[in-house]
Amino acid sequence: MTHPKISQAETIVRGPVLLRGPVPAVARPSRTEAEEAVRTLIRWAGDDPGREGLVGTPERVARAYEEFFAGYRSDPVDLLTRTFEETDGYDEMVVLKDIRLESHCEHHMVPIIGKAHVAYLPRRRVVGISKLARVVEVYARRLQIQEKMTAQIANTIDQVLQPQGVAVVVEASHQCMTTRGIHKTGVVMVTSRMLGAFRTDPSTRREFLSMIGSPTSGRAD
């Protein structure tokens, strides 16, 4: 079974200090300005934003962007603050696999479609499993590169829950590669972030990788 290689650049110690809050504040244009920007792009593409089929497109695109990039309005740290300590001593691995994610490449603003596998080794407390999926969702619904998104998910879980270890593997197809440029379809990118016991203990890492199966064994999209 082929497993994703772990970059030598990854550190064994905890990730960088996590700043609270969604993202640094930026001056957000108005809805009217956003819709006018879409009209400009339609004209630049060579069409008439005033024709019947396109007249409502700027409004629809603005609404779609609110959904695509909803992660900017959420704080992933807050999602993990409610935890449970009544676990009857449970200290084995918690794994959530095949979490579908839909993100957008920050270089071309086209979709990244795939799935994430998340695991942690509890120390004293656990968190509702839906919260792990929501952390993935928050970071996915921002302009991203896959490497950074993988690290952000792992670092946030690690720093808030302070478990014995965290593991994150992301498998995704990038439309910036499949629908433009080199036009290579069927390519899946695999990234991983291993912290704590998943980094230092080979048997723990092997157990996690066996649970999620061989990455790219199925299509990410």
Q: Does residue 90 sit in the same domain as residue 188?
A: yes
- Round to whole Å and give the CA distance between 91 and 70: 34
- Residues with Cβ < 8 Å from 109, sequence gap 6 or more? 143
Over residues 26-60, the pLDDT tens digits come to 888 999 999 999 999 999 999 999 999 999 999 99
Q: Would residue 67 be called left, alpha or beta, if left means φ above 0 and alpha means ψ between -120 and 50 degrees?
A: alpha
**Based on the structure, what is the number of domains in the chain?**
2
Ramachandran angles phi, psi of 188, nearest 5°? -120, 130
Distances (CA, A) of 6 to 3, 109, 121, 169, 205: 9, 27, 19, 10, 11
CATH number at residue 184: 3.30.1130.10
Task: Name the residue with higher pLDDT: 132 or 178.
Answer: 132
Pairing type for strands 143-144 and 94-105 reads parallel
- Round to whole Å and give the CA distance between 31 and 37: 10
User: Tell me, what's the pLDDT at 91?
Assistant: 85
Q: Does residue 112 sit in the same domain as residue 181?
A: yes
In a domain, 110, yes or no: yes
In a domain, 192, yes or no: yes
Q: Does residue 129 sit in the same domain as residue 54?
A: no
Task: Name the residue with higher pLDDT: 192 or 24.
Answer: 192
Its domain, for residue 109, covers 78-211
Over residues 141-170, the pLDDT tens digits come to 999 999 999 999 999 999 999 999 999 999
pTM across the whole model = 0.84
Q: Does residue 91 sit in the same domain as residue 111?
A: yes
Amino acid found at 10: E
Q: Which residues are catalytic?
A: 105-108, 146, 174, 176
